[in-house]
Amino acid sequence: MIDPRVYHELGLTDAEYQRVLDALGREPTPTELAMFSVEWSEHCGYPRSRPLLGLFPKTGKYPTRARGEDAGGIEVAPGLFCLFKMESHNHPSQVEPKQGAATGIGGIIRDIFTMGARPVALMDSLRFGSLASPHTRYLVAGVVDGIQFYGNCLGVPTVGGEIEFNDVYRGNCLVNVMAVGLVEERKIAGSAGSGAGNPVLVVGNSTGRDGIGGASILASHEFGIDEEKRPTVQIGDPFTEKCLIEACLEALESGGIVSLKDMGAAGLTCTTCETAAAGGVGMDIELQKVPRRETGMEPWEMMMSESQERMLVVAQKGREDEIMGIFHKWGLNATQVGEITDDKVLTIRDNGEVVARIDSALLADPPTYHLPTEEPAYLKPAQNKDLSKLPEPQDLAATLLALLSSPNIASKEWAFRQYDHMVQTNTVVVPGRGDAAVLRIKGYKEGIGITTDGNGRYCYLDPYLGAQLVTAEAARNLACVGADPAGVTDCLNFGNPEKPDRFWQFSRCVEGIADACRELQVPVVSGNVSFYNEGPESGVYPTPVIGMVGVLKDVTKHCEMAFRKPGEAIYVLGEMAGELGGSEYLKVCHDLEAGRPAPLDWKFEKGVQQACLEMIGQGLLSSAHDCSHGGLAVTLAECCLLGGVGAEVKLPALDGVRADAYLFGEAPSRIVISSSAPESAILETAKRHGVPCRKIGRTENETFCISLGDKHICAPVALMAEAYNGALPAKLG
């Protein structure tokens, strides 16, 4: 009888172990026990989240493909698909920041080219604790180094992302990475095995002990105090992955591959059982044939290893030597380790001895759980906090400078300049210049826009509304560069789902994203769930991150954030004033994270987006910038800073609206635009889409001035630039 401590250490509950006993009709072998532990973990099988993920819409206004594969995508030009996926590498990055982030990049890239798509772009969404902590500064430096190291070596541009700081992430940083690739529809590859007798190959790197337990232990439990988990972090080799990209694409082009799957979390266990289960077949594998770089590895170690840069290939019978020859040409391992069977059973042998024999569908289909939910006790007091009695700032210019130097708003050029964002020469709008990145597609007039967006504070204060606001902002960011929102991938970062208040947050956020995507007519084509993001002190804020891709019908008709030149009119497209609840101003100037985020009117939001898209398409706009973090004053200042141009703005008085809420409050459905086109053309376009648009000033030479009744902000652009550009390097040392 197996000691319960053994399977508990692997992450299996008593009920799950009993289910294994019932299914097998016997005690599992050590190898089988290890395989169930990783494949039934939350990281691989999503047993706690899967029941809710079915709420996401699967179709939208653009044709979709490949849902349920390693990535999903949408058609961006006739016969051409953009495949994209986002995943987390939170726990590994907290343990070993450089390798944790680097292998996150490697894993998400493999999800793209395993389907036959050439990777064309990366994005990352990062959350850390306060920069006052030396350990946070160590994590930030290591994660950014890992991203630039792996991405730059691969030759895949990192074209954008976001970095935010809040002490709730001190014990558990968030490192979410997104990859995008392009492929002709006829060349999209799948991962379902088929054809009894077809050879099964392991290609790429050798197998070692790195990463063992990463899926079942590291990514599926909370961090404890003083836990040593460094051995569970994988080690990445981007030079091998670069060769693997080229070899896989060449092998797929040959037509001799039946299926291809990345060995990510759970390694051989995941790829063998899921490939077999997807095709309704079995598989017979001999572990002694798997290339390894360490001696004495036990069968369970081989099946749990998460060594990087490895793939599982099912080749056509008789063409295995041809396929292996392609990988050998690129200097990679390629070995036949088994074959497809027709018995639907996954058989694992070690030197001929059967060490595991499991129904592949059983292993690939973990039990699901409908966990209890409970509204958090903090929620109502936080939402109902009376903000009306807060003192208004006496020096509005000093307040603006404080916000511009806040790490959540300040320039992230320190990170972006470490990334090669121009490799492949497709990047049209580079990091920091637009609300989203824009890429050309060689040989096509179309282009793609890409963004990642999250706001843990909004979702902490109202998970359902917060998730909707995040999704709306992602779409609005795409509209600001001229891209029509087309498809979504997500990375859902939450605390321990076994705590009812955490799972309530998760449930409400999923519902919010699902409803938002239906409003926008964009499908969720792929994604990732990351639970157990809890340090020794507390869980992270509920932080769903939305990765969204949009389509530009003509990539030459795009827009950036910067005011271009003096003498152009400035408008606000949408409503004028924001609200204090959940704002960056409230945190920076009053040390409060309270109130309710601003409400969202979907009809109005879609009208603002469509008006902006039409104006860009008609060539009416010189710039467009979503009004979000820091409110209207910060948005206007950023437009000035990026263009090196000043502005003279006069805001109309609004009855009952505080000056700080007007200037620094946040609300959705607002875009600051500039134009030299006739004012009538701008206003008529907005009116046609049923949204207000007000001219508020003009661009000027060197000074930024806002007048609001008898209140004024006036500062040289150079002084604002010093605060905005110097804040992050100064805090990082």
- Tell me: the pLDDT tens digits for 106-136? 999 999 999 999 999 999 999 999 999 999 9
Backbone φ and ψ of 188, nearest 5°: -65, 125
Neighbouring C-beta atoms of residue 309, cutoff 10 Å: 28
At residue 220, the pLDDT reads: 52
**Alpha-carbon 255 to chain mean position:** 32
Residue 712 lies in a domain: yes
Q: Assess contact for 461 and 656: CB atoms under 8 A.
A: no
Residue 40 lies in a domain: no
Residue 406 lies in a domain: no
Three-class SS string for 191-254?
A: CCCCCCCCEEEEEECCECCCCCCHHHHHCCCCCCCCCCCHHHCCCCCHHHHHHHHHHHHHHHHH
Burial class, 67, CB count within 10 angstroms (exposed 0-12 / middle 13-18 / buried 19+): middle
At residue 213, the pLDDT reads: 67
Residue 325 lies in a domain: yes
pLDDT > 90 fraction of the chain, expressed in percent and rounded = 90
State the Cα angle at 312 between 307 and 315, rounded to 5°: 155
Half-sphere exposure of 21 (CA within 13 A, CB side): 12
If you count them, how many residues does the chain have? 733
Say whether 492 sits in a helix, a strand or coil. Answer: strand
Give the separation between CA 725 and CA 482, rounded to whole angstroms.
26
Active-site residue 89, yes or no? yes
| Least reliable range by pLDDT among 259-268, 448-457, 615-624, 696-705 | 259-268
Confidence of residue 695 (pLDDT cuts 50, 70, 90): very high
Give the separation between CA 36 and CA 33, rounded to whole angstroms.
5
Reported as type and span, the H/E element at residue 296 is none
CATH number where 332 lies = 3.90.650.10
Give the separation between CA 540 and CA 537, rounded to whole angstroms.
10
| 232, pLDDT greater than 70 | no
Residue 243 lies in a domain: yes
Where is the domain boundary, 365, 393, 417?
A: 365
Segment 31-60 shows an average pLDDT of 93
* Residues in Cβ contact with 713 at an 8 Å cutoff, skipping those fewer than 6 apart: 396, 397, 400, 633, 663, 704, 705, 706
Q: Assess contact for 414 and 446: CB atoms under 8 A.
A: no
Q: Which of 89, 221, 421, 689 is catalytic?
A: 89
- Sequence-ordered alpha helix ranges (H) in 84-133: 90-95, 97-113
Active-site residue 370, yes or no? no
Question: Which pLDDT tens digit goes with each residue over 92-102?
Answer: 999 999 999 99
Residue 126 lies in a domain: no
Question: Which pLDDT tens digit goes with each residue over 384-437?
Answer: 999 999 999 999 999 999 999 999 999 999 999 999 999 999 999 999 999 999
Q: Which of 8, 43, 328, 689 is catalytic?
A: 43
Where is the domain boundary, 365, 398, 432?
A: 365
Residue 678 lies in a domain: yes
Segment 25-50 shows an average pLDDT of 92
Give the separation between CA 279 and CA 338, rounded to whole angstroms.
16
At residue 230, the pLDDT reads: 42
Burial class, 172, CB count within 10 angstroms (exposed 0-12 / middle 13-18 / buried 19+): buried
Where is the domain boundary, 296, 330, 365?
A: 365
Please, what is the average pLDDT of the chain? 94
Domain count, the chain: 2
* Residues in Cβ contact with 228 at an 8 Å cutoff, skipping those fewer than 6 apart: none
Q: Which domain holds residue 690?
A: 559-733
Question: Which pLDDT tens digit goes with each residue over 358-374?
Answer: 999 999 999 999 999 99
Residue 650 lies in a domain: yes
Give the separation between CA 476 and CA 628, rounded to whole angstroms.
10
